[in-house]
């Protein structure tokens, strides 16, 4: 016999759409006993086992942790240990646009110099030199890591974490 959703709604104090949701979640519709057992196991039992006070405490703890992390992030931002993502995006966008533009003009700049070479090895050297010069010219990024102290700090942090 098919389950009457309206009857189950009245029996458990919910509307018919809630009972439809239970059916979609897997409530059997063959017999009343199977449906009732499923409702007890999957709907009522979890409600009984839930400790509201414990959930409230967990939610408060999550909130406190989130607030602490937010304060730490703000402090790091004020110390200039963090860079706003939109600023990094803008800087990288500009860098790669310049990079693309330079490399697209490379063939026009060195074509005669390449054709003057009498061996493949010399062509490679010319290309390497010009590419290195070009990279040096455009390599001025706003947020480059300073060599020396910062690199040592980074290596120390990496070794400590491993």
Q: Given pLDDT bands bounded at 50, 70 and 90, which one contains residue 6? A: confident
Query: Which of 59, 82, 105 is at the close of a domain?
Result: 82
Q: Given pLDDT bands bounded at 50, 70 and 90, which one contains residue 4? A: confident
Query: What's the structural domain count of the chain?
Result: 3
* Same-domain check for residues 110 and 153: yes
- Residue 140 CA to residue 137 CA, distance in Å, equals 7
Residues 6+ away with beta carbon under 8 Å from 5: 16, 19, 20, 23
Query: Which of 62, 82, 102 is at the close of a domain?
Result: 82
For residue 3, what pLDDT is reported?
64
For residue 149, what pLDDT is reported?
47
The kind and range of the H/E element at 47 are helix 45-49
Residue 38, domain extent: 5-49
* Same-domain check for residues 75 and 94: no
pTM over 0.85: no
Is pLDDT of 47 > 50? Answer: yes
Q: Note whether 35 and 24 are within 8 A (CB).
A: no
Over residues 48-93, the pLDDT tens digits come to: 777 778 888 888 999 999 999 999 999 988 888 888 889 889 988 9
* Same-domain check for residues 73 and 95: no
């Amino acid at each position: 016999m098919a389950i009457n959703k309206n009857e189950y709604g009245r029996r458990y104090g919910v509307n018919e759409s809630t009972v439809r949701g239970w059916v979609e979640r897997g409530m059997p519709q063959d017999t009343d006993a199977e449906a009732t057992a499923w409702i007890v196991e999957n709907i009522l039992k979890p409600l009984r086992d839930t400790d509201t006070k414990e959930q409230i405490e967990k939610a408060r703890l999550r909130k406190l942790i989130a607030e602490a992390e937010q304060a730490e992030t703000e402090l790091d931002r004020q110390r200039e240990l963090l860079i706003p993502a939109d600023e990094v995006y803008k800087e990288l966008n500009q860098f790669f646009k310049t990079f693309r533009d330079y490399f697209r003009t490379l063939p026009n700049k060195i074509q005669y110099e390449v054709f003057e070479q009498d061996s493949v090895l010399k062509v490679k050297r010319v290309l390497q030199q010009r590419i290195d010069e070009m990279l040096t010219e455009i390599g001025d990024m706003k947020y480059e890591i300073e060599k020396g102290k910062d690199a040592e700090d980074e290596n120390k942090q990496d070794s400590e974490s491993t």
